[in-house]
Amino acid sequence: MITSIKRLLFICYMLIVVTLTVSFSYATPGGYGAPKGLTSGCDGCLDNIDGTNLEDGDLAFASNGSVIFFYILDEDSALTESSPDVIKPDSNAGDKRWILLQPAPVDLGGI
């Protein structure tokens, strides 16, 4: 019983991840995709997204080649860049920073 519930939760999680990845990869309003990297300023890297049109609460995903990271933009953060936790846009950043979203832990012990 617990194994089947864990499988169901895992499948639901993966469907959400795939849905978010597809919608962000098409640069929907408020959503950005950076499948080529987190930093280095390359085309397709998260820090290469110009800060001019970014708004508080925008979402993005980025990959370092083996892990997909999900971010939310904080327009008044001004934190020092510290990859992968905090990513600063290379141009027109001001105080805007991409902040890594931490997944909420799921306690399956009580099921």
> Does residue 106 belong to any structural domain of this protein?
no
Instruction: Residue 74: give the domain boundaries.
Output: 2-100
- Inside any domain, residue 109: no
Q: Which one is predicted more confidently, 42 or 3?
A: 42
The count of structural domains within the chain is: 1
Q: Does 81 fall in a domain?
A: yes
Tell me whether residue 80 is in a domain.
yes
Contact between residue 44 and residue 35 where contact means Cβ atoms under 8 Å apart = yes
More confident residue, 33 or 56: 56
Specify if 86 maps to a domain: yes
Closest alpha carbon to 24 in 15, 16, 33: 33
Q: What's the pLDDT tens digit per position in 7-27?
A: 777 676 666 665 555 444 434
Please, are residues 50 and 92 in contact by the beta-carbon 8 Å criterion?
yes
Q: What is the pLDDT of residues 61-106, one digit of tens each?
A: 887 777 888 889 999 999 999 988 999 999 999 999 999 988 766 5
